[in-house]
Amino acid sequence: MLTCFGESHGKCIGAVIDGCPAGLPLSEKDIQQELDKRRPGASKISTPRREKYLAEILSGIYNGFTTGAPICILVQNLDVDSRPYKLIKNRPRPGHADYSARVRYGGFNDFRGGGRFSARVTIAYTIAGAIAKKILNTINIEVLAHTTQIGPIRLSKKIASEEIRKNVYQNTVRCADPEIARLMENEVLKVMNEEDSLGGIVECIALSVPAGLGDPIFDTLDADLAKMVFNIPAVKGVEVGAGFGVASLKGSENNDQFIIDENRVTALTNNAGGILGGLSTGMPIVVRVAFKPTSSIAKKQKTVDLSQMKEVEMKLSGRYDPCIVPRAVPIVESCVAMVLVDHAIRLNIIPKVLQE
Amino acid sequence: MLTCFGESHGKCIGAVIDGCPAGLPLSEKDIQQELDKRRPGASKISTPRREKYLAEILSGIYNGFTTGAPICILVQNLDVDSRPYKLIKNRPRPGHADYSARVRYGGFNDFRGGGRFSARVTIAYTIAGAIAKKILNTINIEVLAHTTQIGPIRLSKKIASEEIRKNVYQNTVRCADPEIARLMENEVLKVMNEEDSLGGIVECIALSVPAGLGDPIFDTLDADLAKMVFNIPAVKGVEVGAGFGVASLKGSENNDQFIIDENRVTALTNNAGGILGGLSTGMPIVVRVAFKPTSSIAKKQKTVDLSQMKEVEMKLSGRYDPCIVPRAVPIVESCVAMVLVDHAIRLNIIPKVLQE
Amino acid sequence: MLTCFGESHGKCIGAVIDGCPAGLPLSEKDIQQELDKRRPGASKISTPRREKYLAEILSGIYNGFTTGAPICILVQNLDVDSRPYKLIKNRPRPGHADYSARVRYGGFNDFRGGGRFSARVTIAYTIAGAIAKKILNTINIEVLAHTTQIGPIRLSKKIASEEIRKNVYQNTVRCADPEIARLMENEVLKVMNEEDSLGGIVECIALSVPAGLGDPIFDTLDADLAKMVFNIPAVKGVEVGAGFGVASLKGSENNDQFIIDENRVTALTNNAGGILGGLSTGMPIVVRVAFKPTSSIAKKQKTVDLSQMKEVEMKLSGRYDPCIVPRAVPIVESCVAMVLVDHAIRLNIIPKVLQE
Amino acid sequence: MLTCFGESHGKCIGAVIDGCPAGLPLSEKDIQQELDKRRPGASKISTPRREKYLAEILSGIYNGFTTGAPICILVQNLDVDSRPYKLIKNRPRPGHADYSARVRYGGFNDFRGGGRFSARVTIAYTIAGAIAKKILNTINIEVLAHTTQIGPIRLSKKIASEEIRKNVYQNTVRCADPEIARLMENEVLKVMNEEDSLGGIVECIALSVPAGLGDPIFDTLDADLAKMVFNIPAVKGVEVGAGFGVASLKGSENNDQFIIDENRVTALTNNAGGILGGLSTGMPIVVRVAFKPTSSIAKKQKTVDLSQMKEVEMKLSGRYDPCIVPRAVPIVESCVAMVLVDHAIRLNIIPKVLQE
């Protein structure tokens, strides 16, 4: 179970992971490696907030192994510049949580950099995801995400998991096809120059997930995946397998017919995305997630001044990614890994003490 | 909080609702009215399983009012014919939970009619939804769902909430546009004759939801909506507001610019679907849900015989809807209502004792 | 996980047990056997409410085995006489929940027979306990409760588990020592004639519980036992092992010194009651529970009339046990069994599918 | 909701409090004040571990007010000396969690200073309690604890809440009666010289709690209090009101007869300890908690060497309190305050945004 704390411009972002089995080898390096995947400053298309995220383990590890006690891991906020945010105190940015948060918390919320609503909170997800992936490794489950769409540029050909492993971190947009990646990069640069931003889609695949994971009802595997993924800021849609495409299919097209392959039950197709009845089927889990374009844009927009209750115009400065999709790739991976490890623990597939 | 029990071919389907405020007037008629909306046998395009669902209140009501104690409501299963299901004991139906459930429960699951994985369990959701809607009524929140796509037929024009209220239950496909409804009905009949089935999309709108509902993180309003809706059998995708469409939008197109209307903050557009930062914005909540085509089709399909581990062909008999989307309309409504009422209770908007 | 519903004078009491492993043989007879242990009308010292409790399984069982789906089991309320309760509508009975419930539920609570606050709700605990004990049996854990005090009569000698097994259901007070049992019975009869009632203490022992059960913190084994047991009406105290006696002990007296017996670690004493650091130690779990005297007594008492806000005198009629302790014995057993099975499931000691 | 992390000899102890209403003024001084109450080194009768606990707020506060986001507060572990603990790696201390934890966590647990099982984790409870008490203050609820027994010395006279407020922090044993306090202090010193330790009892009273708090069933007020308090290390018993004493009372003695006082309903006695049917009655909540004598004593004891599976003798060095009861006083207060604030939030008594 993940508890997280911290704000964009506060002292730090932290994650507390409870329920991690004892006996997992774990070091700050394991965490750092995953954090580096989502680091801004990694490329010309991301925010100039250039700090290095440094993970610090506060508890739960002894002699290099998890102890079974809650693991707290912190990342300090170093390169913080809150000046550009004074503007937004009374002027909610379109597309942001500024307005709804102000109503919810009576104006007491820390609005600097979006505060608790900044994508920066996903540092905590990445930390927990790093641990989840290490646990899943012990039962050979692999979780792989990649960008399939940025703005108008889509990856339409079928991608082998080998290509994801090989190519995704070789380009700045985290696309498994190098050619499409180039197109996506160009698109981002173009829109960046227009002082605008782009949305996109991340696909995540989990391999070697055994059949039977999930707790119907109400904790089905797809429901828990959808819930976790919707907790990532900027997500507006989640689909499994053929997803929204099923609306246009006939049953005879959509049903994955069962066959036997090397004495194991499998299916001719995977429109189910590896989940039927809320339970994993043993086929790859396939989840797709829609991210909206970065809300913070330099272009002029309309908003209201809440202290005067009048309409105003706003031009945001500050440091923003023109497209958050590339950074979302390791975050979606982390979310999927967390849900899978939780269900694997529930189903007794992962022991309470891991033996080396 | 909803707990539910019962199987497709067991004695009954039941719902236990805990945490309902005391003092809500509630009778079996209130429940029956909602159950009737999802009744099969209501039209030529649905399953011939013709029983009337009769709601029976077992607890939690005294003198016509909720008492604050758990409310248990049952619907007996009357018109059950389990004979056609003997076939599937060892032969999992493509697109169904038969295989994954068999692995999960070691073959002990009640497979008759899909057992616990039948859409029949959503009777419990409808019961809880009926209560949730009555509670939401006391704070003027209205939840309205309608069919926007069945197979290739889509509703593309913008629909006013007035049209939903007026038209949805006037046709068998629960579409707010009478002309599109006719096209959808024809499409369903056509596919029915082909012994095949169709999927579709249900849209749900919640009106007058105050700003600030939701508990970030990890119980954001959209995450909880997505989770609840993914617990409906056959759902493969959920989106909020512009949904997957955001992937192709620029920030300047997607951001809903704030304006002031009659001294209240509102926005020019609602691409956010009424949710920003996981909190309601005060604009209508808009959720869209993709349903796969009914998995049970009479057409010949491939599957495997698990007792012999060999591939076989299968032709299903039994009673199935060629398209479950129309029946899903009140169920989606119920799920959205349940999540809204839970968050409204958390936020102290609904008192623990309702005064008449 | 247990959800329960129903009121003393409503239609029924019901239990929904979710998370029970598939593959457990279970019939109504298994439940009935446990229900019969707490049946009133079993002796001259209990309430004349003489109905037989009949358990009816509504879901979760197929072909005589649990399916992994939620199990709902009902007991109808048959011999209900609500007439004597009209009196209490505005006149809260001393020692009862009448007043606090009225405030909490704004007067909408079903007050007849105490409604939701009647000890009758523990039928649901007994049902769940019957299942829990069957599951614990599969890993050889045995749970045994007995009466150690009724009013001034205490069982002071040490009791062997064999005596509990043999004697407890041979007398009406559920005491493991036949001689003390007779004294207790006499005491109850005496107080019954005085139109008064008696409290007492139930001790519960769980044998063969493996070391390591419990989830510190905040779900330690003792904390969960205490919470569950305090949900039994009339409980005013819970202690583990030496309990309140530890206050008067020195460390050197209280510490259970470890020894080795037949190559296993055990201890010379068991002041810990089988729990250290919130985790089971492998020694017997020992829990003691204090029950207050039945609040409903025929003797004249002072109370207030809430409709007139004036003090009045009250003489209760109706049917009451002069001492509920004997009936509490199987209920405490059930509560302890439920907590142990939950923790055994968490710790992977009980598989998700039980093989015959 | 409190999540906590950290070990006795790790880097720090931390608390994450989620769900705290926005708008509460909160500073490190507020926390420090409560931490100082439980500080060792405060007197000659407590452990020589002399560090000052310094609370550091990491998140959830902005401009001096809670923001509604999770509040993380840390206390660094400074004066740590792990050398004496090498001994216990294979030799579990009698009365400690060393053995059960080793079994549970497969030996991966951080055993130094008891690790996660040290009373030091209650720093987190004190932090959360400090916040809980500030919230309760806004609705005039006051929580007061004091020592009523240490070893053979008992406080038997009735104590007014005024005496608790005035005297408890004037002596080292946290007793409300100065004379009894002196006797207790002497007793502790005596046993200290014998290289032994003492247990005792802490009583906690909550004043001005409105009637109706608690969620039956299964989250009754007494059940939640018992669970929280049993999560304090060394607790072996919890009782409410007359507690275990009820076993010897008759109904006519135990029932608190209702009266009217200044047009409010109250009762002649408070054997119920302010809770009936799991709901608060409006009378003072009274909880009593039994603490065992400190397990770590310098006296020679028997234990086993687990690496050699043989019996050995053990003499503990290290720094221990001869009696932890005085330090437990603010911790019990904190636990009771946390439970009350949670139930007050559930019951809408505390708003989501506190206005100054």
Q: What is the mean pLDDT of chain B?
A: 93
Contact B119, B327 (CB under 8 A): yes
Contacts of D252 in chain C (CB under 8 A): 196-197, 297, 299, 301
CA distance D279 to D259: 19
Contact B307, B96 (CB under 8 A): no
What are C112-135's pLDDT values in tens digits? Answer: 988 999 999 999 999 999 999 999
C228 touches chain D (CB under 8 A): yes
Tell me the two tokens of residue A294.
Answer: 């970065």
Contacts of B104 in chain C (CB under 8 A): 22, 68, 352
**Three-state DSSP class for residue B177:** coil
DSSP state of A53: P
Confidence band of C181 (pLDDT split at 50, 70, 90): very high
Q: For residue A55, what pLDDT is reported?
A: 95
Instruction: Provide mean pLDDT across the span C301-325.
Output: 90
Q: C155: exposed, middle or buried (C-beta count within 10 Å: 0-12, 13-18, 19+)?
A: buried
A356 touches chain D (CB under 8 A): no
Contact D107, A40 (CB under 8 A): no
Tally Cβ neighbours within 10 Å of residue A193. 9
Whether C252 sits inside 8 A of D196 (CB atoms) is yes
Query: Helices H, strands E: what count in chain B?
Result: 8, 17
Q: What is the mean pLDDT of chain D?
A: 93
Contact B347, D353 (CB under 8 A): no
CA distance C105 to D213: 11
Largest CA distance in chain B: 71
Tell me the two tokens of residue C94.
Answer: 């001393």
Which has the closest alpha carbon to B141: B220, B219, B204?
B204
D4 touches chain A (CB under 8 A): yes
Contacts of D194 in chain C (CB under 8 A): 250
Q: What is the mean pLDDT of chain A?
A: 93
Whether D105 sits inside 8 A of A353 (CB atoms) is yes
Tell me the two tokens of residue A236.
Answer: 């507006």
**Host H or E run for residue D72:** strand D71-76
pLDDT surpassing 70 at residue C330: yes
**Three-state DSSP class for residue C19:** coil
- Chain B residue with minimum CA distance to C115: B69
What are A196-228's pLDDT values in tens digits? Answer: 999 999 999 999 999 999 999 899 999 999 999
Which has the closest alpha carbon to A72: D59, D34, C219, D86?
D59
Q: How many contacts does C have with D, using Cβ atoms within 8 A?
A: 346
Q: For residue A275, what pLDDT is reported?
A: 98
What are D119-131's pLDDT values in tens digits? Answer: 999 999 999 999 9
DSSP state of D209: P
Percent of chain B predicted with pLDDT > 90: 87
Which has the closest alpha carbon to B301: A257, A254, A249?
A257
Contacts of B16 in chain A (CB under 8 A): none
Percent of chain D predicted with pLDDT > 90: 87
Indicate the angle between helix axes D28-37 and D325-346, nearest 10 degrees.
140
- Chain B residue with minimum CA distance to D212: B352
Confidence band of D52 (pLDDT split at 50, 70, 90): confident
Tally Cβ neighbours within 10 Å of residue A154. 16
Top-level class of domain A2-346: alpha beta
DSSP state of D105: T
Assign 3-state DSSP to chain C and report helix, strand, coil percentages, each to 5. 35, 25, 45
A352 touches chain C (CB under 8 A): yes
Contact C111, C102 (CB under 8 A): yes
What are A61-75's pLDDT values in tens digits? Answer: 999 999 999 999 999
Angstrom distances, CA of residue C166 to CA of C33, C144, C176, C177: 16, 11, 8, 10
Instruction: Provide mean pLDDT across the span D94-121.
Output: 94
Could you give the angle at the alpha carbon of D113 between the alpha carbons of D111 and D115, nearest 5°?
50
What are B183-197's pLDDT values in tens digits? Answer: 999 999 999 999 999
- Answer with the residue of higher pLDDT: D251 or A44: D251
Tally Cβ neighbours within 10 Å of residue D163. 17
To test the contact with chain A by mutation, choose from C18, C352, C355 the residue with the greatest count of A C-beta atoms within 10 A, namely C352
- Answer with the residue of higher pLDDT: A321 or C336: C336
Pairing of strands D264-267, B310-314: unpaired
Confidence band of B51 (pLDDT split at 50, 70, 90): low
pLDDT surpassing 70 at residue D160: yes
Tell me the two tokens of residue D109.
Answer: 């647990």
What are D237-247's pLDDT values in tens digits? Answer: 999 999 999 99
**Host H or E run for residue C353:** none
Q: For residue A356, what pLDDT is reported?
A: 59
Listed range (A273-277, B351-355, D31-35) with the worst mean pLDDT: B351-355
Q: For residue B312, what pLDDT is reported?
A: 95
Residues 95-134 of A with CB under 8 A from D: 104-106, 108-110, 112, 115-116
Listed range (B143-152, B206-215, C71-80, D275-284) with the worst mean pLDDT: C71-80
Q: For residue A42, what pLDDT is reported?
A: 55
Tell me the two tokens of residue B308.
Answer: 């012999």
Confidence band of D51 (pLDDT split at 50, 70, 90): low
pLDDT surpassing 80 at residue C48: no
Q: For residue B169, what pLDDT is reported?
A: 93
What are B231-260's pLDDT values in tens digits? Answer: 999 999 999 999 999 999 999 999 999 999
What are C229-257's pLDDT values in tens digits? Answer: 999 999 999 999 999 999 999 999 999 99
B252 touches chain D (CB under 8 A): no
Here the ipTM equals: 0.96
Whether B351 sits inside 8 A of D348 (CB atoms) is yes
Which has the closest alpha carbon to D289: C334, C243, B144?
C243
Distance from CA of C50 to the nearest CA of A (A): 38
From the list A152, A276, A304, the residue facing B248 with the nearest CB is: A152
**What is the pTM for the complete model shown?**
0.96
Alpha helices in chain A (DSSP H): 28-37, 98-104, 122-137, 161-167, 178-193, 221-230, 251-254, 325-346
